[in-house]
Amino acid sequence: MRIVGILLAAGEGSRFGGDKLLAPLASQRKPQTGAEPVGVVAARNLLAALPDSIAVVRPHDTALSAVLSAAGMRITVCENASDGMGASLACGVAAAAEADGWVIALADMPWIRPATIRLVVDAIASGGDIAAPSLRGARGHPVGFARANREALMLLTGDAGARSLIDRNAARVTWIDVDDEGVLRDVDTRMDL
């Protein structure tokens, strides 16, 4: 079974003031090496759990594309990324349309442990339709989708991402209780660093 990781890295970072995925974040695993960009840390965590992964970026975002590619991600440019997260997610799924499933991660969530991502992968690989981590009852990221959701994912638009798909199919979601605070923690402003 082929499950592909999709790192959504096509946002504009407007609340942050732009280029938040290139902002330095001290590495928790290798503090002696200094800071890596937020997006690279998120990419490394996804790749550690799911080596077959794609990063979705905005057109002309060459600096981000270069660092994510150097980290090991395949790059997909979403021409209509300005339409919102749903459009970026649809681009990512279309770039790996032949996969049996996808795990959708957000590039501004660099604190998710690879072991948590692996739990989502395992839930989809063992027959789950939709899977996501939950921390103390709160829905977290990343979210996994089986192939049966491909068409619905490829039709997404707007800024809500796959939230509507999850809400409409709540009975089909496998919730995975985790103790990983990273599933809820993202970078929206410079204070979040």
Question: How do residues 132-191 score in pLDDT, each as one tens digit?
Answer: 999 999 999 999 999 999 999 999 887 777 888 999 999 999 999 999 999 999 877 555
The string of DSSP codes covering 116-139 is HHHHHHHHHHTT-SEEEEEETTEE
Q: Please, which residues bridge with residue 110 across strands?
A: none
Task: Assign 76 to helix, strand or coil.
Answer: strand
pLDDT digits (tens, 9 = 90+) for 32-81: 456 889 999 999 999 999 999 999 999 999 999 999 999 999 999 999 99
- Residue pair 185/109 in contact by the 8 Å Cβ criterion: yes
List the domain boundaries for the chain.
Answer: 3-184
Max CA pair span of the chain: 46
**Model confidence pTM above 0.85:** yes
Integer angstrom CA distances of residue 167 from 33, 82, 83: 41, 24, 21
- Give the chain's mean pLDDT: 90
| CATH ID of 3-184, from 3.90.550.10, 3.40.710.10, 3.40.50.720, 3.90.1150.10 | 3.90.550.10
- Residue pair 112/44 in contact by the 8 Å Cβ criterion: no
Phi, psi of 146 (to 5 degrees): -80, 165
- Predicted local distance difference test score (pLDDT) of residue 189: 57
Identify the band that residue 25 occupies on the pLDDT scale cut at 50, 70 and 90.
confident
Strand pairing report for 35-37 and 24-26: antiparallel
